Amino acid sequence: MKKRIISLLLSLITLLTLIPLGAMATQSRKENFNKDYTLTGDMATDICIVANAQANLTKEELGYTEAWCADFVCDCARLANIPTSIIGNHGLAARLCETVLESGGVVVTEPRAGDLVVYQGTSKKTGEFKIFHVGIMTGGTTSAQGNLS
């Protein structure tokens, strides 16, 4: 009986290792954000105001425990009163960008404050071209973002 249980358990473990499982977590840490700012009612301006108020705060200070660029963008959007129908709640940069495009967002070549900046490149692991980072444009050439210094 013990051999049968061990065999069944090993079979189950083997089976689970063959099934591709993906994890995508979203961590909201907006309760840890600096809220010493005043919103204007303009979504593009307000997301910049919220993002800029977090300048120099670290991953640890904000409370994130994973890659946090998309989480940061989503938390800034929530605090700027931008609906999830415009900027969703996604812990994955690629999925966040898909949501923005699905809700009417457009790709631009000359960014403005309030736009999202998306970093794309070729994966060293797979050779696949993909989105790997997202941030918030705070001006024509400046941005606020998690994960990068």
CB atoms under 10 Å from CB of 26, counted, come to 16
Radius of gyration of the chain measured on its C-alpha atoms: 19
CA 126 from chain centre, in angstroms, equals: 21
Please report the pLDDT score of residue 119 as a whole number. 92
Please report the pLDDT score of residue 79 as a whole number. 97
Please give the angle made by the CA atoms of 115, 121 and 124, to the nearest 5 degrees: 145
Please report the pLDDT score of residue 125 as a whole number. 86
Model confidence, pTM: 0.79
Please report the pLDDT score of residue 63 as a whole number. 94
Tens of pLDDT, residues 107-146: 999 999 999 999 998 888 888 888 889 999 999 899 998 8
Please report the pLDDT score of residue 73 as a whole number. 96
Please report the pLDDT score of residue 82 as a whole number. 96
Handedness of CA 34, 59, 99, 21 (dihedral sign): negative
Please report the pLDDT score of residue 139 as a whole number. 93
Which residues have C-beta within 8 Å of that of residue 113, sequence separation ≥ 6?
44, 45, 48, 137, 138, 139, 140
Please report the pLDDT score of residue 28 as a whole number. 92
Residues of the chain short of pLDDT 50, as ranges, are 1-24, 149
Which two structure tokens, joined as six digits, stand for 100? 């923005």
Residue that the structure tokens 């994966």 belong to: 123
Residue that the structure tokens 């071209």 belong to: 129
